[in-house]
Amino acid sequence: MTAEDTEDGHAPRTAEDSGTAVRGQLRRGALRSRHLTMIALGGIIGASLFVGSGSVIATAGPAAIVSYSIGGVLVALVMRMLGEMAVARPALGSFMEYARVALGDRAGFVVGWLYWYFWVGVVAFEAVVGGRIIGGWTGGPAWVFAVGLMLLLTASNLLSVRSFGETEFWLASIKITTIVVFLVVGVLYVLGLLPDSRLSVSNIGYGGFFAQGAYPVLQGVVVVIFAYFGTEIVTMAAAESRQPARAIARATNTIVWRILIFYVGSVALLVMITPWPDIPSTSSPYATAFDRFGLPAASTIIDAVVLSAALSVLNSGLYTASRMVYALGGNGWAPAWATDTTRRGVPWKAILLSTVVGYFAILMNYVSPDRVFAFIMNSAGAVALFVYIIIALSQIRLRNRLTREGRFDTSLRMWLHPWLSVLSIAAIVAILATMGYMSDTRSQFYLSLVSVAVLLVAFPIVQRHRRRSRVSPYPR
């Protein structure tokens, strides 16, 4: 084991790829480079891009490009901060640990459970989306298909880490292939190089670039920021690869062009292909674009892609939630049995615990969609932004501390430290304030504050139990 694989003399909570994982430890080397590459590439492409981009364009007009750009810049900065910490202390494994080391136990506890809660809600939501798509194709009950998808992806995660990686590899491949095809054909279409097409680049200014005004651009940022959430998954998955620091550095260094091409580039093409008032706000604008290209059954094909995107998010969400609760268990902030692993290094109890809320939420979507299910979804609505703030605060504190101690790894630095980190925090606070102001997102903002308050109240209770149980995390 190399020096970069240890921290303060302690081995990371992973086992080498020797065929059988050590009990209670994850398995190092289970995820290969190609898995991490697809997790990094596909993690930024969710079902919200294929469907939700239409509502953003309807809100901001062609200036939706600016909304996606602003959101993308913010996420790129957060990923750079996260990448710097992960390279500087590669053995820590997740930003919950960075928060604990930099800001104290309370911050680690809160961000860990917030992140877990966010993802178990996302898992339920994506299962519901997938169930509706299959139900629409077959005419069968959507809730049955939603439960079936949950069972299928739970089994994939339980089988082995490699099984998760392979599943994500192929699901991400479908999303990426679709976007690449759209980008190539879309460019040819707007340049008038396809049959029955004409030069339509000027559609980007249809009715004026800021046709809806400036404020809707900020409203669009509130929506699109959540479409980007999930890019940080690769920093957690890298803990189960052979060279975590290298994998994290590579993913962090490529985040900017991934955002520019997949999101900003494709949204720019959408408003060039079709005048923005004609882009549907409640269905996929990509289906409309492919229909203009003359692709037969465009709507059905895009539905299949949206299904694959939903399954990808469901798959990676289960993985991420289980690893977070596993890390919480290692710190004594979740039941100790959450760290139990199979012979293949799979934290099977953490996975099953992470599915409980998912199954309950699926049930509530069909029993009480306007009350219980809406509460679960809304109470996690702003959580991603709270997590980003804690990541930024952790980076500032940890960078300063490691620099003073002469232990800062300079191979991957946050740009213009600490000013861009502070600016990122200010931008996130502005987005949260906008959420509190907008009627459509106000309930998400306040219910998410309730989630934070519950965790702050729970922390001293859990901390006392941890002391009685004599659970000691790695030293700071």
pLDDT digits (tens, 9 = 90+) for 124-181: 888 988 999 999 999 989 999 999 999 999 999 999 888 998 998 999 899 889 999 9
User: Cα separation of 212 and 277, whole Å?
Assistant: 11
pLDDT at 9 over 50: no
CA distances for 192 relative to 181, 199, 272, 294, angstroms: 17, 4, 11, 14
Mean pLDDT, all residues of the chain: 86
Q: What is the pLDDT confidence band of residue 3, given thresholds at 50, 70 and 90? A: very low
pLDDT digits (tens, 9 = 90+) for 365-411: 888 877 777 777 777 778 889 999 999 999 999 999 989 988 887 78
Q: Write down the pLDDT at residue 473.
A: 55
Report the range of poorest mean pLDDT among 37-41, 60-64, 102-106, 302-306.
37-41
Query: Can you give the pTM of this predicted structure?
Result: 0.89
How many CB atoms within 10 Å of residue 452?
16
pLDDT digits (tens, 9 = 90+) for 89-109: 765 457 898 999 999 999 999
Q: Write down the pLDDT at residue 11.
A: 36
DSSP 372-437: IIHHHHHTTTTHHHHHHHHHHHHHHHHHHHHHHHT---TTS--TTTTHHHHHHHHHHHHHHHHHHH
**pLDDT above 70: percentage of residues in the chain:** 91
pLDDT at 205 over 50: yes
Q: Write down the pLDDT at residue 471.
A: 59
Contact predicate 445/432, CB 8 Å: yes
pLDDT digits (tens, 9 = 90+) for 57-68: 999 999 999 999
DSSP 94-119: SHHHHHHHHH-HHHHHHHHHHHHHHH
Show me where the domains of the chain are located. Answer: 33-464
The CATH number of 33-464, from 2.60.40.10, 1.20.1740.10, 3.40.50.300, 3.40.350.10, is: 1.20.1740.10
pLDDT digits (tens, 9 = 90+) for 216-270: 998 899 888 888 888 888 888 877 777 777 778 887 888 888 888 889 999 999 9
CA distances for 122 relative to 268, 310, 380, angstroms: 27, 10, 9
Q: Write down the pLDDT at residue 16.
A: 45
Q: What is the pLDDT confidence band of residue 12, given thresholds at 50, 70 and 90? A: very low
pLDDT at 475 over 60: no
Alpha-carbon torsion 354, 356, 359, 363, what sign? negative
- Counting other chains too, the contacts that 253-259 makes at CB distance below 8 Å and 24 or more residues apart are 253/83, 253/412, 254/40, 255/44, 255/75, 255/76, 255/79, 255/80, 255/231, 256/76, 258/40, 258/41, 258/44, 259/44, 259/72, 259/75, 259/76, 259/228
pLDDT at 30 over 60: yes
